[in-house]
A and B are shown apart, each in its own frame.
Chain A
Amino acid sequence: MEGLILLFVSSALINNFVLAYFLGICPFIGVSNKISSAFSMGIATTFVMVITAIVSWLIYNLILLPNQLDYLQYVAFILVIASLVQFVEMVIKKVSQPLYRALGIFLPLITTNCAILGLALFIVLKDYNFAQSIVYGFGVGVGFTLALVIMAGIREELDLADVPKPFRGAPITLIVAGLLALAFMGFAGLITI
């Protein structure tokens, strides 16, 4: 249990997917204009991440490994993720209309979010067991949401700042992200895994 909590903290803060592994930069730059939309995007991504962690663990360990098909993992994962996102979208639409309205437009974007495929690959690479995979997926999702919301908060303030013209938009966002990554490095001493 203690190991799982440590895993959660390390995946959310220390090895933050956006700021340490550079995964999911596209939505990080694209959707981080407003705190509210950043938060919705983060929740939707976390949701898909937990499901992806479960499904990809099951597929890899129950189908691909026993049949020695692990060289097919990339094809299998990407297909599963693409169809999973579609499926999640349909389920949410059916179950909860308000949730669908809140998350709806973000779900199709998640398919091309490299953080999702990255998560599936890291679970295989680090050889996590089932419980660890779920916690890892959740932790990564929380870390992603955190980075996105902090960034959105900074960018809302940045709109009021007098940034040199060539640096407006993506360049200044990247530089701010660099400073944020520097700040997140402070978490590195928190725990050791």
Chain B
Amino acid sequence: MKKVSLLKEYTKGLWDQNPTFKQILGTCPTLAVTVSAMNGIAMALATTFVLVFSSMIISMIRKLIPNQVRIAAYIVIVAGFVTIVDLVMKAQFPAMSKSLGPYIPLIVVNCIILGRAEAFASKNGVFSSILDALGMGSGFLGALFVIGSIREVLGNRTILGVAVLPEGFTPWLIMILPAGAFITYGLLMGLSNAYMEKKKENERKAIYNKYITAKQFVNETEA
């Protein structure tokens, strides 16, 4: 039983509580860096790193932080890890660091991180906090990869730098412009809502059908 609930801490971030499509958190990096799939992946990995380590530290010291100053304490911890990521990226991946620009330091104010710190890590143990952070990070990674791929394919004919669409396809310039980011994100969010509604509708129908067959059965046996 324990194992099942731990697994749940991880998987809920993937779809049920996906930070991008369901909770609408961390929209700034989602829109800004998804010009290409690779940028999206790099951004999501950097965010996940910060998310996992800050969740870990926050849940370790959650009983030591006085309640009134907790937000400030969280922010300082997050800012520390963001500085680490920024310096490492500048040293190891200068090209990627340049193309992500100020959005790496802006991870500090990414609402996913503070949101998870406040809603989960400050109330739960270290291990489940790490799993929760990993789940949210994976959900974020998936979302950024999907948005980045769509924009890269339509705007540049490639995915991860590999050409997929033929030469004859005229790239839609709008997709790699800011407007394309808003529209892609909006459409995807709408589609995911539509899918969820359809699923719920089907579940409702299934329950209703069961009820009807049960009722018929009762009626027949009574007759």
Q: Name A's B-contacting residues (CB within 8 A).
A: 19-26, 29, 71-75, 78-79, 82, 112-114, 117-118, 121-122, 125, 164-167, 170-175, 177-179, 181-182, 185
Contact = CB atoms under 8 A, between A and B. Distances in A.
Nearest to B87: A71
A174 B185 contact: yes
A19 B28 CA distance: 11
A166 B108 CA distance: 31
Given A20-B178, A74-B79, A79-B72, A118 B187 contact: no
Contacts, number: 119
Interface of B: 24, 27-28, 31-32, 71-72, 75-76, 79-80, 82-83, 86-87, 101-102, 105-106, 108-111, 114, 174, 177-183, 185-187, 189-191, 193-194, 197
A167 B185 CA distance: 11
B27 A74 contact: no
A26 B79 CA distance: 20
Contact of B181 (A75, A117, A122, A178): A178
B189 A171 contact: yes
A33 B87 CA distance: 40
B75 A174 contact: no
Given A112-B114, A114-B28, A114-B106, A22 B181 contact: yes
A175 B182 contact: yes
Given A166-B190, A166-B193, A171-B190, 4 more contacts: A25-B28, A118-B106, A170-B186, A177-B186
A29 B101 CA distance: 24
B102 A122 contact: yes
Q: Which 9 A-B pairs have the closest CB atoms?
A: A174-B186, A178-B182, A166-B193, A178-B183, A166-B194, A171-B190, A175-B186, A167-B190, A181-B179
A75 B32 CA distance: 22
Contact of A171 (B179, B181, B193): B193
Contacts of B101: 125
A78 B113 CA distance: 14
Interface SS, B side: helix
Given A74-B83, A177-B182, A26 B72 contact: no
A179 to B, nearest CB: 7
Contact of B106 (A29, A117, A179): A117
10 contacts: A75-B80, A78-B75, A79-B75, A113-B109, A121-B105, A125-B102, A166-B194, A171-B189, A174-B186, A178-B178
Contact of A78 (B109, B181, B197): B109
A74 B105 contact: yes
Contact of B28 (A22, A79, A177): A22
A25 B27 contact: yes
A20 B178 CA distance: 6
Contact of A117 (B80, B105, B174): B105
Contacts of A166: 190-191, 193-194, 197
Contact of A178 (B102, B109, B186): B186
A122 B180 CA distance: 23
A93 B101 CA distance: 37
B96 to A, nearest CB: 17
Contact of A170 (B28, B86, B189, B191): B189
